[in-house]
């Protein structure tokens, strides 16, 4: 059976499963819509958290980044994994005990201010939309290649599916859908990884295959081979980095603390009955996440070796079928600059920006490109987001594995998109309408506002998916920087400092997110020509500036809080009670009742 038919079958079955679960477990109250009724088993919650956490960036882009960046790509691995540990140990149990199931709700009550709540709502929506744009883009890429539709059409199909189970099911539907999505995405990620590890190193465990010798009789280690190939093509040693240490540090830190401030992950800890269960589900999630994250460097290296061996200096007419398939989806491109019919793949950008494909064909049968400069030796353009998706095809794996990877990529993107859309809808319905604008609305009206907000959010997310501000992982990195600079300092100081007051929190959040977003917008959109180390502040790239924004937030919040009045005594007592285990099993139901 051909790839497209198999993909339709496997993706169709998984979509039917997701929608079926959403209908079966649809929310009937705000309690179920926001936190799934608070009765989810820790293992199920751990699986749902892992699926929520491992987005299209983790599944599709991370191995692609490592594949092209080499050692520098490890910062995504360290930042995202370390951030989850930080969140699970430092924030989740305290927030769970506090009993607020949205970050703006915590900020509003802890800082006794509707203004602080409103600033937090704006930050949550801003961060979530930036993040969800990457997920929708991931959905579009998968559809464009495997179902042979335009990326725009793929985004629209993804929007429809998410609409069904996020708007109908709320957190209850999303939680059980994400359990299924975790199973799909981890199976889809690990099956090709195991296959390729056996094919290349005879070792069925990818994490061990990564450090093994190749089975081609050369006795050369995989990474030594990759270093040699990279140097030959002028890319530099794969296992050495090109980024400065300060930039690596700031990007890793931004990803870490951004994780700890991500509203869609924090909310997951309210879906279990007790604080103890929140800790246990965090442990389960960490193990389940580690399975994929520890395999990513191996997949990146296998794919890079296979890609170079398959494409570099190859006759275009003799290129394998996968190359022409991905060329049709406009995610890989070749420009024959010296008219020799061979693909020259060396260091250097073959095009300014992304290639502009035409429907016409060249003398070798390749898709022609508009407005492509002819200087430089490199003739190949590869979108980093295709590495994981194209990996099984590059390695010549069976068609069912290729179709399975498509289903896994969609599961990863849709699970995170659903969690983010829920954050947007709860921020608007619960924190904006119920707490600020319309405090007297009924439970039923609040649920209606939540569903309407989710529907509008899906439409806006779809627009960003069709017109993305960068490739998937880069867009997601910006979201983490924005979360790091806005939420993390305020949550940390809200838990651990009785002296932190509303004036400090508002000033800190506003200054942190303003500084970070202006820096990113300037270098990425207003003046991208200046986007290099020579023009960056202290050599920090836009991906890492969130850490500096976080420092700005901390300094401003601390300074302002010291020159303004201390919080009321009841707020200080509440902060103290959060950190004392007494009554730790109390549920958010007490909060809902009041």
- Give the DSSP letter of residue 567: P
211-220, 272-281, 503-512: segment of lowest average pLDDT:
272-281
Chain segment 173-208, per-residue pLDDT in tens: 777 788 888 888 898 899 999 999 999 999 999 999
d(CA 556, CA 564): 12
pLDDT at 592: 45
Size of the chain in residues: 594
pLDDT at 475: 66
Sign of CA pseudo-dihedral 187, 190, 192, 198: negative
Q: Using an 8 Å Cβ cutoff, are 473 and 75 in contact? A: no
Residue 401 has pLDDT above 70, yes or no: yes
| Closest among 394, 227, 389 to 306, alpha carbons compared | 394
Span 5-10, mean pLDDT? 87
Mean of pLDDT over the chain: 81
Measured in whole angstroms, the distance separating CA 290 from the mean position of its chain's CA atoms is 15
Helix 502-521 to helix 488-496 angle, to the nearest 10 degrees? 160
d(CA 103, CA 396): 46
Span 323-328, mean pLDDT? 78
Q: Using an 8 Å Cβ cutoff, are 35 and 198 in contact? A: no
Chain segment 41-86, per-residue pLDDT in tens: 788 888 888 887 787 778 877 888 888 888 888 888 888 888 888 8
Residue 472 has pLDDT above 60, yes or no: no
User: Would you place residue 554 in the very low, low, confident or very high pLDDT band (cuts 50, 70, 90)?
Assistant: very high
Residue 414 neighbours by CB distance under 10 Å: 32
CATH of domain 3-299+396-469: 1.10.4160
Which helix (H) or strand (E) element contains residue 359? strand 356-361
pLDDT at 295: 92
pLDDT at 482: 82
Chain segment 410-444, per-residue pLDDT in tens: 888 777 777 777 778 877 887 888 888 887 888 78
Span 91-105, mean pLDDT? 75
pLDDT at 169: 61
Q: What angle do CA 77, 83, 89 make, to 5 degrees?
A: 140
| Closest among 481, 80, 511 to 254, alpha carbons compared | 481
User: Would you place residue 589 in the very low, low, confident or very high pLDDT band (cuts 50, 70, 90)?
Assistant: very low
pLDDT at 587: 46
Span 145-155, mean pLDDT? 77
Chain segment 532-546, per-residue pLDDT in tens: 888 888 889 888 899
Q: Where are the domains of the chain?
A: 3-299+396-469, 304-387
Sign of CA pseudo-dihedral 274, 280, 283, 288: negative
| Closest among 466, 404, 443 to 141, alpha carbons compared | 466
Helix 114-146 to helix 103-110 angle, to the nearest 10 degrees? 170
Sign of CA pseudo-dihedral 504, 509, 510, 514: positive
| Closest among 476, 517, 524, 425 to 135, alpha carbons compared | 476
Tokens for 534, please give them.
């020579």
**What SS3 class is residue 362?**
coil
Q: Using an 8 Å Cβ cutoff, are 488 and 261 in contact? A: yes
Q: Express the helix, strand and coil content of the chain in percent, nearest 5 each.
A: 70, 5, 25
Selected residue with higher pLDDT from 256 and 317? 256
Chain segment 495-513, per-residue pLDDT in tens: 888 889 999 999 998 999 8
d(CA 320, CA 54): 31
Selected residue with higher pLDDT from 160 and 211? 211
Measured in whole angstroms, the distance separating CA 350 from the mean position of its chain's CA atoms is 28
Q: What contacts 555, CB < 8 A, 6 or more positions away? A: none
Q: What are phi and psi of 66, to 5 degrees?
A: -65, -40
User: Would you place residue 471 in the very low, low, confident or very high pLDDT band (cuts 50, 70, 90)?
Assistant: low
User: Would you place residue 353 in the very low, low, confident or very high pLDDT band (cuts 50, 70, 90)?
Assistant: low
């Amino acid at each position: 059976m051909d790839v497209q038919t198999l993909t339709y079958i496997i993706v169709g079955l998984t979509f039917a499963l997701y929608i079926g679960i959403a209908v079966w477990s649809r929310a009937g109250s705000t309690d179920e819509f926001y936190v799934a009724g608070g009765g989810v088993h820790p293992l199920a919650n751990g699986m749902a958290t892992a699926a929520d956490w491992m987005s299209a960036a983790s599944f599709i882009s991370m191995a692609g980044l490592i594949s092209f960046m080499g050692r520098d790509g490890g910062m995504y691995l360290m930042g995202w994994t370390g951030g989850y540990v930080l969140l699970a140990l430092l924030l989740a149990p305290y927030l769970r005990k506090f009993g607020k199931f949205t970050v703006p709700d915590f900020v509003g009550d802890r800082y006794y201010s509707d203004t602080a709540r409103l600033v937090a709502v704006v930050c949550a929506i801003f961060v979530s939309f930036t993040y969800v744009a990457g997920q929708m883009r991931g959905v579009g890429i998968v559809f464009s290649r495997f179902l042979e539709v335009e990326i725009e059409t793929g985004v629209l199909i993804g929007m429809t599916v998410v609409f069904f189970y996020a708007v109908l099911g709320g957190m209850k539907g999303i939680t059980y859908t994400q359990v299924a999505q975790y199973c799909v995405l981890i199976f889809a990620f690990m099956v090709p990884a195991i296959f390729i590890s056996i094919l290349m190193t005879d070792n069925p465990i990818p994490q061990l295959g990564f450090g093994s010798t190749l089975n081609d009789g050369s006795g050369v280690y995989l990474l030594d081979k990759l270093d040699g190939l990279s140097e030959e093509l002028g890319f530099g040693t794969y296992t050495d980095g090109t980024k400065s240490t300060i930039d690596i540090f700031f990007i890793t830190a931004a990803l870490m603390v951004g994780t700890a401030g991500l509203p869609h992950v924090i909310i997951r800890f309210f879906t279990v009955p007790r604080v103890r269960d929140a800790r246990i589900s965090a442990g389960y999630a960490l193990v389940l996440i580690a399975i994929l994250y520890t395999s990513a460097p191996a997949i990146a290296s296998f794919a890079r070796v296979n890609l170079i061996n398959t494409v570099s200096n190859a006759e275009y007419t003799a290129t394998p079928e996968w190359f022409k398939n991905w060329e049709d989806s406009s995610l890989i491109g070749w420009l024959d600059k010296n008219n020799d019919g061979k693909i020259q793949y060396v260091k250097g950008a073959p095009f300014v920006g992304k290639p502009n494909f035409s429907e016409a064909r060249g003398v070798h049968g390749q898709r022609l490109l508009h407005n492509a400069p002819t200087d430089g030796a490199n003739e190949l353009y590869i979108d980093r987001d295709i590495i994981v998706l194209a990996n099984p095809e590059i390695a010549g794996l069976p068609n069912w594995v290729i179709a399975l990877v498509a289903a896994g990529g969609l599961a990863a993107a849709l699970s995170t998109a659903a969690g983010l859309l829920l954050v947007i809808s709860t921020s608007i319905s619960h924190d904006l309408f119920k707490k600020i604008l319309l405090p007297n609305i009924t439970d039923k009206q609040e649920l209606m506002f939540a569903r309407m907000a989710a529907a509008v959010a899906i439409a806006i997310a779809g627009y960003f998916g069709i017109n993305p501000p960068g490739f998937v992982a880069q867009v997601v990195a910006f979201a983490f920087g924005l979360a790091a600079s806005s939420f993390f300092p305020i949550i940390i100081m809200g838990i651990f400092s009785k002296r932190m007051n509303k004036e400090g929190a508002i000033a800190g959040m506003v200054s942190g997110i303003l500084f970070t977003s202006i820096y990113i917008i300037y270098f990425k959109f207003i003046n991208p020509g200046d986007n290099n180390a020579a023009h960056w502040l202290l050599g920090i790239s836009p991906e890492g500036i969130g850490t500096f924004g976080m420092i700005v937030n901390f300094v401003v919040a601390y300074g302002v809080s010291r020159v303004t009045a201390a919080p009321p005594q009841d707020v200080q007592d509440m902060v103290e009670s959060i950190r004392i285990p007494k009554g730790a099993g109390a549920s958010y139901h007490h909060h809902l009742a009041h």
